[in-house]
């Protein structure tokens, strides 16, 4: 992420993730650090120990920060998210962006997924356990050529199957 884009995003979500300093306790972490921790977790998929040593922030604080910042990001950006196109007319502008900007003809989006590590659930724990030995939920994202989210799914315990659709 470019520094200017990061600064703009901190200005947007910063007031909502800023905590107050307490008189007897430590000073609150700045919003830019909270956002950087969250993005470091989401983008490259770093695990808590790596983030903990990179930012010098405790593991329990990292888990709270990520949960709170993700919720604020969703609330802040939900009005900018578009509905996934279903007709050829709705797909035409997205195809145009992919062809002109990325030189990929006939693409209507980019799909990616990630296993997000979680604590062991109380029930049905085998459903959320993967072959790498940790518990997870699946995050799947579909974006357009201008990096705009078209569809997001979080919380599934297994990857979904796409049904081919001719557009």
pLDDT digits (tens, 9 = 90+) for 129-153: 777 788 888 888 888 888 888 888 8
Alpha-helical regions (H) of 82-165: 88-102
Alpha-carbon gap, residue 149 to 142, rounded angstroms: 6
- Would you say residue 124 has pLDDT above 60? yes
pLDDT of residue 114: 84
pLDDT digits (tens, 9 = 90+) for 36-82: 999 888 887 788 888 898 899 998 889 889 989 988 988 888 777 66
94 with 127, same domain? Answer: yes
Mean pLDDT for 19-48 is 84
Alpha-carbon gap, residue 97 to 106, rounded angstroms: 10
Read off the tokens for 2.
Answer: 């470019």
87 with 62, same domain? Answer: no
27 with 94, same domain? Answer: no
Mean pLDDT for 15-40 is 85
Percentage of the chain modeled with pLDDT above 70 = 90
Give residue 109's pLDDT band: very low, low, confident or very high (50, 70, 90). Answer: confident
* Cα 70 → chain centroid: 7
Q: Highest-confidence range of 42-46, 82-86, 97-101, by mean pLDDT?
A: 97-101
74 with 94, same domain? Answer: no
26 with 40, same domain? Answer: yes
pLDDT of residue 18: 84
Count how many domains the chain has.
2
**Is residue 167 a part of any domain in this protein?**
no
149 with 97, same domain? Answer: yes
Write out the residue range of the structural domain in which residue 62 sits. Answer: 3-78
The H-or-E segment that residue 156 falls in is strand 149-156
Burial environment of residue 26 by CB neighbours within 10 A (0 to 12, 13 to 18, 19 or more): exposed
**Is residue 37 a part of any domain in this protein?**
yes
Domain boundary among 54, 78, 102: 78
Domain boundary among 22, 50, 78: 78
Domain boundary among 78, 98, 121: 78
**Is residue 66 a part of any domain in this protein?**
yes
119 with 141, same domain? Answer: yes
**Is residue 138 a part of any domain in this protein?**
yes
- pTM for the whole structure: 0.55
- Would you say residue 103 has pLDDT above 90? yes
Mean predicted lDDT score pLDDT of the chain:
82
């Amino acid at each position: 992420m470019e520094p200017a884009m990061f600064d703009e995003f901190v200005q947007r979500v910063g007031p909502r993730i800023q905590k107050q300093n307490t008189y007897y306790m430590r000073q609150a972490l700045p919003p830019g650090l909270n956002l950087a921790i969250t993005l470091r977790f989401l983008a490259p998929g770093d695990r808590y120990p790596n983030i903990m040593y990179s930012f010098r922030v405790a593991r329990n604080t990292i888990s709270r920060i990520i949960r709170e910042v993700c919720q604020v990001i969703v609330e802040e950006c939900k009005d900018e998210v578009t509905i996934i196109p279903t007709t050829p007319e709705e797909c035409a502008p997205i195809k145009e962006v992919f062809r002109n900007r990325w030189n990929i003809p006939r693409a209507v989006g980019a799909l990616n997924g990630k296993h997000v590590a979680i604590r062991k659930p109380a029930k049905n724990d085998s459903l959320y356990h993967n072959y790498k030995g940790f518990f997870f939920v699946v995050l799947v994202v579909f974006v357009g050529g201008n990096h705009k989210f078209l569809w997001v799914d979080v919380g599934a315990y297994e990857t979904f199957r796409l049904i081919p659709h001719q557009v």
